[in-house]
Amino acid sequence: MGADNPIRIQSMTTIDTMDTLGSIEQTIRMVEAGCEYVRITAPSIKESENLLEIKKGLLARGYNVPLVADIHFTPNAAEVAARIVEKVRINPGNYADKKRFDQFTYTEEAYQAELDRIYTKFTPLVKICKEYGTAMRIGTNHGSLSDRIMSRYGDTPEGMVESALEFIRICEDLQYYNLVVSMKSSNPQVMIMAYRLLVEKMVTEGMNYPLHLGVTEAGDGEDGRIKSAVGIGTLLEDGLGDTVRVSLTEDPEKEAPVAIALVNRYSNRQKAMQHQGNPAIVQLSENNSTSPYISKEANAFIGGSIVPRVIVDLSSENGKDPFILDNVGYRYDAVNDKYHISEQSVDFIYLGSNLPSFTLPGNLKVLYDYGSWILLQDKVNKHPVYSIAEYNKAQFRDPNLNLILISNEELEEPDFSQLEINDTIVFILQTENLHGMADQRQFFSNFQEIGLNNPIIIKRDYPSAEFSGPMGDDTSPEEPISKLQLFAGTDLGALLVDGLGSGIWINSPATPIEKITSTSFGILQATRSRISKTEYISCPSCGRTLFDLQETTQMIRSRTSHLKGLKIGIMGCIVNGPGEMADADYGYVGAGPDKITLYRGKEIVKKNVPTVRALDELIEIIKSDNRWTEENNA
Ligand code: SF4
């Protein structure tokens, strides 16, 4: 791993580590699905010892896949595992510290004394790893930072980075360098910032270790895939990452195909780029990371709102059928001849030159090609889309809103220099560059340099049918997962997490419209730029899990999915679960067989509730906080 090696794919078993045969068989299924490393939890010495049996069983069946022991809280288990497996993962937040969820103030001396204590506790493992040639991942998790780190840095990317650096410095002091580092969070924005900062700090300190990328507790289905794409894809676009684990609340063999699809996009890019010219990696000006998504001049476009807008193309749909709007969040009620809107109703539809014969909902804006728009009698809520040349030549323009298609290269062209910029203009940014995200990011930088701040809609085209259907290696026909979620999640998410873009437009003619709509809102949700649904932070499960996470997540989702903006953590065990829930508003955590402990933020509200009553009790807590709304089935 690292250097010029390919980006390695990995995942983690979910079965009890003491179930030797089950672990062997699950590992084999994961290897067959594309895993190059397999991680197995080792909560205590007995599981660590059983890794030897698992390893032997795998070798006997002809599988010599490197194994990784996952350690939390138990240095003695790590020291056993390090003699057996190829790599040990430790969490610096809990290797030598117990998380107390307390905020302490540390004097300089007390802080140094803590570091000395870690040095003493961690040194034996480092020596064993050196002796046995075992690698180590120093894997920071946003949700489980030590009190020491929290006291000085808070729950921040800086704290995450320092948490790992404390341990790396000890390794270097002991001349052990066989390391890989990760900075995981369930919030892709935090995770991206932490990895970028880690690289910066490592460069400053003369370190150069491979990176393991992952979004933790990403959830399942579409949400889990989009969140993973935003977090992992953005960093891969930056050229960072040596191994990838996609973490889904699904069977572990479902994870590798997603990771492979994300990674394979880059395997031939270098060669292809030689023919096309590589957009420079641009450094955006400071204020971009915090800048609002919409410039003040955009009022005509956004109606005073600051969330990114969603455009969906319906130009090829049947213009006589009002039910086509169901797929963009406007449910037509034929009896009363009216539309019901939802939290995922798009803001604009593009019709090109397709003139519908039915009445459109009053709050839906429609975009037409300029040539068709100019002929419309009624132009209320209808706006033109031009090329730059068309706009320059236009005799009549919309007094409120004009959308102009543009690309990075066109900034250099004479048509653009003739353009008279005014505050009715919104640009639709397109790209044909293979490294489209970097090309579009460069556009934002160039645009800034020119001193313009008109709103920019990020448009990406995925013309090929390969984006629409299930991935060839995906095994979930009931919920086909398309590459569109992964690629659009990466391309658009990477810009939105940096605060770039006033809206998004995904064009994929072979993809069902409702998928494009849900992918668009999913990307905005994952980048936390526009919240339109409940967020579930569910762990991927492992040998510690105390209930069926997939089933439980579905059950909780079925009753709470209308609670827009609420974050619910669903964690398989009480040992790590509370720490991993990060910024969840409520937590549903396995406390023992058939026992659930319920949290409000990080505070326990009810302990050891029988599973059968746990969801009802959780809903009662949400209601008592006045955060419950009844589902609107109208
Ligand atoms: S929170 Fe979930 S994945 Fe993490 S250790 Fe507990 S059961 Fe395993």
The confidence score (pLDDT) of residue 484 equals 92
Q: Ligand 1 pocket check: which of 144, 580, 595 to mutate, most ligand atoms within 8 Å of Cβ?
A: 580
Give the pLDDT score at 45. Answer: 96
Residues 6+ positions from 603 with CB-CB distance below 8 Å: none
Q: How does 80-109 read in b/e, with b if 16+ C-beta sit within 10 Å? A: bbbbbbbbbbbbbbbbbbebeeeeeeeeee
Q: Quote the ligand 1 centre to 318 CA distance (angstroms).
A: 48
Token pair of 277 as six digits: 């010219």
Task: Convert the pLDDT of each residue in 229-255 to its tens digit.
Answer: 999 999 999 999 999 999 998 889 999
CA dist 598 and 583 (Å) reads 15
Cα 241 to ligand 1 centroid, rounded to whole Å = 24
User: Residue 341 in 3-state DSSP?
Assistant: strand
Best residue among 215, 539, 550 to mutate for probing ligand 1, ranked by most atoms within 8 Å of CB: 539
Which amino acids bring their CB within 6 angstroms of ligand 1? Answer: 539-542, 544-545, 571-573, 575-577, 580
Please compute, for residue 286, the number of CA atoms within 13 A of its CA located in the half-sphere on the CB side. 0
**Ligand 1, from 542, 546, 549, 588: best to mutate by most atoms within 8 Å of Cβ?**
542
CA distances to 152, 440, 477, 533, 580 from 588, rounded to whole Å, are: 29, 41, 29, 18, 12
Considering only CA atoms, which residue is closest to atom 3 of ligand 1?
Answer: 541
For residue 249, the model assigns a pLDDT of 87
Residue of 622, 623, 616, 565 whose CA lies nearest to 599: 622
CA 579–ligand 1 middle distance (angstroms): 10
CA-nearest residue, atom 5 of ligand 1: 576
Cβ atoms 342, 561 nearer than 8 A:
no
Which residues of the chain register pLDDT less than 50? Answer: 275, 277-278, 280-298, 300, 302-304, 470, 472-480, 633-634
**Closest ligand 1 atom to 543 CA:** 8
Neighbouring C-beta atoms of residue 326, cutoff 10 Å: 16
Atom of ligand 1 nearest to the CA of 580: 1
Report which ligand 1 atom has the smallest distance to the Cα of 574: 6
**Which atom of ligand 1 lies at the shortest distance from residue 72's CA?**
5
**What are 8's strand-pairing partners?**
243
* Alpha carbon of 128 to ligand 1 centroid (Å): 26
- Measured distance CA(499)–CA(504) in Å, rounded: 13
217 alpha carbon to ligand 1 midpoint, in Å? Answer: 9
Ligand 1, from 91, 575, 588: best to mutate by most atoms within 8 Å of Cβ? 575
Q: DSSP for 147-209?
A: HHHHHHH-SSHHHHHHHHHHHHHHHHHTT---EEEEEE-SSHHHHHHHHHHHHHHHHHTT---
Residue 196: the pLDDT is 96
**The dihedral sign for the CA sequence 296, 301, 307, 308:** negative
Pocket test of ligand 1: the residue of 571, 588, 589, 595 to mutate, having most ligand atoms within 8 Å of its CB, is: 571
Cβ atoms within 10 Å of 519's Cβ, excluding its own: 26
Distance 219 CA to ligand 1 centre (A): 13
Atom of ligand 1 nearest to the CA of 589: 1
DSSP string, 365-389: EEEEEHHHHTT-S--TTEEEEE-HH
Atom of ligand 1 nearest to the CA of 546: 7
Dihedral of the CA atoms 531, 532, 533, 535 (nearest 10)?
-20
Cα separation, 41 vs 143, whole angstroms: 18
**In terms of C-beta density within 10 A (0-12 exposed, 13-18 middle, 19 or more buried), how is residue 594 classed?**
middle
Atom index in ligand 1 nearest the CA of residue 545 equals 7
- Taking the CA of residue 542 as reference, the ligand 1 atom at the shortest distance is 8
Ligand 1 mean position, distance from CA 573 (Å): 5
Q: What is the token pair recorded at 246? A: 């996609």
Q: How far is the CA of 358 from the centre of ligand 1 (A)?
A: 52
CA of 542 to the centre of ligand 1 (A): 6
Distance 18 CA to ligand 1 centre (A): 16
Write out the two tokens for 510. 């072979």
Distance CA 555, CA 544 (A): 21
Q: Are 89 and 139 in contact (CB under 8 A)?
A: yes
Residues in the chain: 634
Residue 74 contacts residue 98 (beta carbons within 8 Å): no
* Nearest atom within ligand 1 for CA of residue 540: 3
User: Which is the closest atom of ligand 1 to the Cα of 539?
Assistant: 2
CA 297, chain centre distance (Å) = 30
State the pLDDT at residue 474.
45
Ligand 1 centroid from CA 545, angstroms: 6
- pLDDT at residue 191, rounded to an integer: 94
Measured CA to CA, the distance from residue 368 to residue 376 in angstroms comes to 10
Q: Choose one of 89, 247, 573, 588 to mutate for the ligand 1 pocket test, by most ligand atoms within 8 angstroms of C-beta.
A: 573
Nearest atom in ligand 1 to 590's CA: 7
Q: How far is the CA of 631 from the centre of ligand 1 (A)?
A: 31
3-class SS shares of the chain: helix, strand, coil, % to 5: 40, 20, 40
Question: From residue 483, how far is each of 32, 51, 275, 448, 576 by CA, in Å?
Answer: 20, 35, 25, 32, 32
Distance between Cα 329 and ligand 1 center (Å):
36
Nearest to 258 by CA among 225, 235, 230: 225
User: Which amino acid residue places its CA nearest to atom 8 of ligand 1?
Assistant: 542
List Cα–Cα distances, 133 to 31, 70, 83, 397, 577, in angstroms.
23, 17, 9, 70, 31
For ligand 1, atom 1, the nearest C-alpha belongs to 577
Rounded to whole angstroms, the Cα distance separating 62 from 53 reads: 14
Q: What is the pLDDT at residue 632?
A: 59
How much is the pLDDT for 335? 87
Structure tokens at 333: 């009620």
pLDDT at site 303 = 45
